[in-house]
Amino acid sequence: MSSGLTHRPQPIWTNAVLAATLFAVDMTGMGGVNLRARCGPVRDTWLEFLRELLPDICPLRRVPHHIGDGRLLGGLDLAATLRSGSPVAERGLLVQANGGAVVLTGAERASVSLAARIGMALDTQEVCVQRDGVCSRNPTRIGVVLLDEGIDDEKPPAALLDRVAFHLDLDGVHLGEIGGRDFDAETIAAARHRLAHVDITEEVMRALCETSAALGIASVRAPLLAVRTARAAAALAGRSNVTRADAAIAAALVLAPRATIIPQAEAPQDKAETPEPSDERHRDSDSDAQSHDHPLTDVVVEAARAAIPEGLLAHLQSAQARLPRANAGRAGALMASNRRGRPAGIRRGEPRSGARLNVVETLRAAAPWQVLRRNTLRGAKQRRIEIRRADFRITKLEQRSETISIFVVDASGSSALHRLAEAKGAVEQLLADCYIRRDHVALVAFRGSGADIILPPTRSLARAKRSLSGLPGGGGTPLAIAIDAAATLAVTTRRKGQSPVLVLLTDGQANIARDGTPGRDKAAADALDAARAVRAAGIAALVVDISPQPHASAERLAREMGSRYLPLPHADAKSLSRAVQVASAESV
């Protein structure tokens, strides 16, 4: 599958173009593409390729990540309804894209609710609308392109990533390294016709399943997507049966980016080239490590291994060595729940001072009187719908500000050894209480030379527990960095309309300064400085001194932070939990 251009394009780019081509062959089968790249010419070129590969009639619709249900799914078309005097339904973006694809911009910030709606459309290939008096079911055969501009651990919702076949990362590709494409729209149209007649052998299917198991991929959707990809690859090559080469392409494009385990190989990692499927290679690489009886599986595993980006390997290794990162979901649930302000009913009233007119309810209120009003208006200028002030209805929203407890846990050497276990117990207890109150929690841990948000704001206890149990201790105490990180997080959550409470569990003895250098004096000064910033930002906080002998430095820190100070030399989980509850009740 090499490109026939004068300069050699980057292998990543070649793969990305191949993925776009296969996606164009079978859009609904592949589900879609996650395109991780910054906004720029490389991404634009890829999108343009896709556009050219699709038939002209195929719609390609952009969906912003903050889209409302009305536009996404459809509902009542208010303008048309008012004009015609009878309800007119409006089709949502997903339905409008039927037969084509939607491009989700800002996918890394998409909420889980949006992901669920799109995921459902992908699964059922239809959109079912039950909104504002509109009840419809429309075919929605679409693919989805996720434009992922995330950095570090930011990712689109897992519900979507699981459903799209290709996970491409074009972040390292420069404009000079990209090439052209090998296929044109006609070839693809031919492949699309051939697709239904491509056979796949039992052996290939088994090989793809075994490969996905060898790579530690849990979801069953992955091998299924790989099977469809292999079939599309065969159709593209003009064959009517899937060969090893097709299976290798599927493994490289679909399975490799999902790997959580790197299968063992005797040969060192020297594969930076394209996953050029070579049938000879499988013999010389070891087959004992996998103990597969099927030589094909070895070929496919090898192809996948060759395609695993080097960065992924390093990431996996460091992830195992360091903290387990919670990678499923994200802050999405948070945004959704914030928007979820519970409608506490509809009432008569005028749309003033921010109250939103509920047009559907207003129409409903006006509806029974239409005949009567028209009759009394006889002679005067007739309008389609006669609406009076008394008909106005507004939605009453009951906004309960959500509390979010941000735990900042000192996991450094000074407190870790004897206190970390107790601190963990206390946090678990608090989490349990937060769970009952439906609060969100976030967890920042600091040790060594930095602070990590090991748990972004979430309600999921399973995740909280997981990230907490894997928290190691030891190292320096970068208190200032930790307070800064927590304060930033607090300000962000407050911008979303939540009430953050910082709970700092530490002995207050900083020894790493803001710039990462060791030294007690500088570190202490920086920590106090960070504490003052918290007070200036007006963030509610609680300092829990977890050292065996209460220490003046922690108390000083609390004072500068304008927060309560709680020496808990014998902190048991129960009393700590109670203290935090009191603090958050006072602050909110």
Contacting another protein within 195-234 (CB under 8 A):
196, 200, 202, 205-206, 208-210, 212-213, 218-221, 223-224, 227-228
Min dist CB 101 to another protein, Å, is 19
Q: How far is CA 531 from CA 479, 543, 551, in A?
A: 10, 11, 17
| CB nearer to another protein: pick between 402 and 507 | 402
Q: Does position 333 bind another protein by CB under 8 A?
A: yes
Minimum CB distance to another protein, residue 411 (Å): 19
Copy the structure tokens of residue 328. Answer: 């499923």
CA dihedral 95, 97, 100, 105 (to 10 degrees): -120
Quick check: 125 binds another protein (CB under 8 A)? yes
Interface with another protein in residues 502-531 (CB under 8 A):
none
Q: How many Å apart are CA 8 and CA 562, to the nearest integer?
A: 61
The owner of tokens 């509610």 is 540
Query: Least separation, in Å, of the C-beta of 562 and another protein?
Result: 32
Please pick, from the candidates 340, 418, 574, 578, the single residue that binds another protein as defined by CB under 8 A: 340
What is the rounded end-to-end Cα distance, in angstroms, of the chain? 61
Residue 87 near another protein by CB under 8 A: yes
In the complex, minimum distance from the CB of residue 462 to another protein, in angstroms, rounded to a whole number: 5
Could you give the string, one character per residue 4-43, with x where binding to another protein holds by CB under 8 A and - elsewhere? Answer: -------------------------x--------------
72 forms part of the interface with another protein (CB under 8 A): yes
Query: Considering only residues 374-413, where is the footprint of another protein by CB under 8 A?
Result: 385
Query: Binding residue for another protein (CB under 8 A) from 108, 132, 302, 484?
Result: 132
By beta-carbon proximity to another protein, the closer residue of 216 and 518 is 216
Residues 430-469 that bind another protein (CB under 8 A): 431-432, 435-436, 438, 459-465
Residues 539, 560: Cα–Cα separation, whole Å: 12
Neighbours of 177 (CB within 10 A): 16
E strands, 246-315, are none
Look up residue 490 and give its two tokens: 């607090």
Provide the 10 A C-beta neighbour count for residue 102: 25
Burial degree of 106 (CB within 10 A; 0-12, 13-18, 19+): middle
Binding mask 341-380 for another protein (x = CB under 8 A): -xx----------------xx-xxx-xxxxxx--------
Q: How many residues does the chain have?
A: 588
Q: How far is the CB of 429 from another protein (least distance, A)?
A: 9
- Binding segment (CB under 8 A) for another protein, from list 51-59, 331-339, 499-507, 547-555: 331-339
Per CB under 8 A, 428 contacts another protein: yes
Q: Which of 32, 48, 46, 232 is nearest to 141 (CA)?
A: 32
Look-up of token digits 């392409």: 249
Rounded Cα gap, residues 390 and 165, in angstroms: 54
Nearer to another protein, 169 or 361 (CB): 361
Return all residues near 430 (Cβ < 8 A) that are at least 6 apart. 405, 407, 441, 503, 573, 576, 577, 580
Determine which residue in the list 78, 116, 265, 525 makes contact with another protein, applying CB under 8 A. Answer: 116
Which CB, 159 or 510, lies closer to another protein?
159
Burial, 284: exposed, middle or buried (Cβ in 10 Å; 0-12, 13-18, 19+)?
A: exposed
Name the strands in the sheet holding 101-105, side by side, starting at the edge strand that comes first in the sequence: 60-64, 101-105, 143-148, 32-36, 166-169
Shortest gap between Cβ of 556 and another protein (angstroms)? 34
The amino acid that residue 31 corresponds to is G
Residue 133 contacts another protein per CB under 8 A: yes
- Residue 147, Cβ density class (10 Å: 0-12 exposed, 13-18 middle, ≥19 buried): buried
Closest distance of CB 293 from another protein, Å = 12
Helix (H) or strand (E) holding 105: strand 101-105
Out of 44, 48, 123, 184, the residue judged to bind another protein by CB under 8 A: 123
Nearer to another protein, 363 or 540 (CB): 363
Identify which range of 82-90, 238-246, 256-264, 474-482 contacts another protein by CB under 8 A: 82-90
Q: Token pair 């649930």 is at which residue?
A: 333
Minimum distance of another protein from residue 159's CB (angstroms)? 7
Q: For residues 248-287, which are near another protein according to CB under 8 A?
A: none
